[in-house]
Structure 1
Amino acid sequence: MTVTFTALPTDHADHLRNGGKDAYGNLPETAISDGPGHPCRHCLNNIDAGDAFLVLAYRPFPSLQPYAETGPIFLHAKSCERYGATEVLPPMLQSPDYIVRGYDADDRIVYGSGAVTPTTDIADRAKMLLAREDIAYLHVRSARNNCYQCRIDRN
């Protein structure tokens, strides 16, 4: 099995960049990056110092339900190419570790699947979790703040 690190869909990014509202009904805020620490959820790269970016509330789930967490994310203010590599760890994943957690086909957390995982072990853990029939996809989240980073899907 191979895994794909899935970025925020381009239509979502374009909507937000073109005046669309975030998950809370607010317009995204604009800020200027002071360097690493502002990962774009569309290209999955860090936003360079001096570049404009959007700060917004994002819910990476198709509908409201008890497990549909919403939180802050960053997005390049200008268009960027969506990340599309398979089996390649996104460049923005530079912390020593992240939470990797499984979700079922109904977008509910699969209890017992979440763990703080060293960054170098994310792909192997993803393959192990996605081999389970009860797990449809995974989230990579900050181990410090629980912020959504990206999704992992099986190929």
Structure 2
Amino acid sequence: MTTTTTNLRTFVVRAIPAEFLATVRATGTDVSGHPVESHTAGGGEPLRCCLRDAEPGERLILFGYEPPLPASPYREIGAVFTHAEACPGPTTDAYPPHWRDRPQVFRAYDARGRIHPTSRVHDTDAPEPTLAEILADPEVTRVHSRNITYGCFMFTITRPAPDNA
């Protein structure tokens, strides 16, 4: 989990949970029961465990992941890359630095797990103002950052817990 701050913490960035990844690595299967695929990184694969791009030669797995949402028609499973072995996770307290200038769709969701109309494309090197605008709507409970070209899930963004604000 990473937290971004301006004067107050405005959002929390969450990678795929380490506990979930440990299960996928131990069982060798994804959320649909399909076997994970082993890969050797060519370099640049977005790693959802530590929120950075892979370096050439790193051992990776590719598997189906269902990002956290309440039961709704908008739940979906998509392919994600992570390290094949456990890693320390994100190493920053800000928006993932390797991905700041990567165009993304910030898909906002409400408490029912439905896509919220504040969703938008982010295509600058300053995601914080866009996220602040989206999260300013009290109906938004979470935002999924998604790759524009492939639609793949990257990470979840939420408001900080009230006692952490």
TM-score normalised over the length of structure 2 = 0.84
The answer to whether the 8 A contact 1:140-1:150 is kept is yes
* Alignment match of 1:114 (pick from 112, 115, 119): 119
Q: CA deviation at 1:94?
A: 5.7
Q: CA deviation at 1:90?
A: 0.7
Name the counterpart of 1:101.
107
**Aligned to 2:24, what secondary structure does the other structure show?**
helix
* Alignment match of 1:141 (pick from 132, 143, 146): 146
**Aligned to 1:139, what secondary structure does the other structure show?**
strand
Q: Which amino acid in structure 2 is aligned with residue 136 of structure 1?
A: T
Q: CA deviation at 1:67?
A: 0.5
The answer to whether the 8 A contact 1:5-1:152 is kept is yes
Extract unaligned runs of 5+ from structure 1.
none
Q: CA deviation at 1:85?
A: 4.0
Count of aligned positions = 152
- Partner deviation per Cα, 1:49-93 (whole Å, 9 max, x = no partner): 11110000111025653100211000100111122644x121341
Name the counterpart of 1:18.
26
TM-score normalised over the length of structure 1 = 0.89
The answer to whether the 8 A contact 1:20-1:27 is kept is yes
C-alpha distance 10-35 of structure 1, shift in aligned 2 (>3 A): same
Name the counterpart of 1:128.
133
Q: What percent of counterpart residues are identical?
A: 27
The answer to whether the 8 A contact 1:40-1:46 is kept is yes
Instruction: Output aligned runs, 1:1-155, within 5 Å.
Output: 1-36=9-44, 38-62=45-69, 64-83=71-90, 85-86=92-93, 88-93=94-99, 96-110=102-116, 112-155=117-160
Q: Distance in 2 between matches of 1:100 and 1:62?
A: 15
Q: Distance in 2 between matches of 1:136 and 1:62?
A: 10
- Partner deviation per Cα, 1:13-37 (whole Å, 9 max, x = no partner): 111111242122112110100111x
